[in-house]
Amino acid sequence: MSSAEKKSFNQHVIYPFDDFENVFQRIDQRMTAIERATVLLERELAVAEEKRKFVEQRFNQVDTRLDRIDGHISRLVWLIIATIVGGLMSFIMRGAMFGP
């Protein structure tokens, strides 16, 4: 839009001065709605942050438990390996491998 078109457009626009009260009321309503939405959004963010903290704490607890389980499984594996090696050594020491 050229400047000449803007000037001609502005000359034809009528601004009703008596309707300013309604305009201000609508603006006030919109601002109130935006403020409410902002409060709700902030509340939702705070709740989400607390939920995230709780979930993070639970995952840390699960992680600790899994580490303990992993340690126990590792010990069991070593125990099984030691039992197999011990049994094999006992078998060899009795002379069963090479005959009586």
For the stretch 36-89, pLDDT in tens is 999 999 999 999 999 999 999 999 999 999 999 999 999 999 999 999 999 988
In a domain, 83, yes or no: yes
d(CA 70, CA 76): 10
Cut 0.75: pTM above it: no
Task: Give the separation between CA 35 and CA 43, rounded to whole angstroms.
Answer: 12
Is 61 inside any structural domain? yes
> Per the domain annotation, does 6 fall within a domain?
no
Number of domains forming the structure of the chain? 1
Give the model's pLDDT for residue 93: 83
Residue 94's pLDDT band (cuts 50, 70, 90): confident
Residue 30's domain spans which residues?
A: 17-93
Q: Is residue 24 part of a domain?
A: yes
Q: How far apart are CA 6 and CA 2, in angstroms?
A: 6
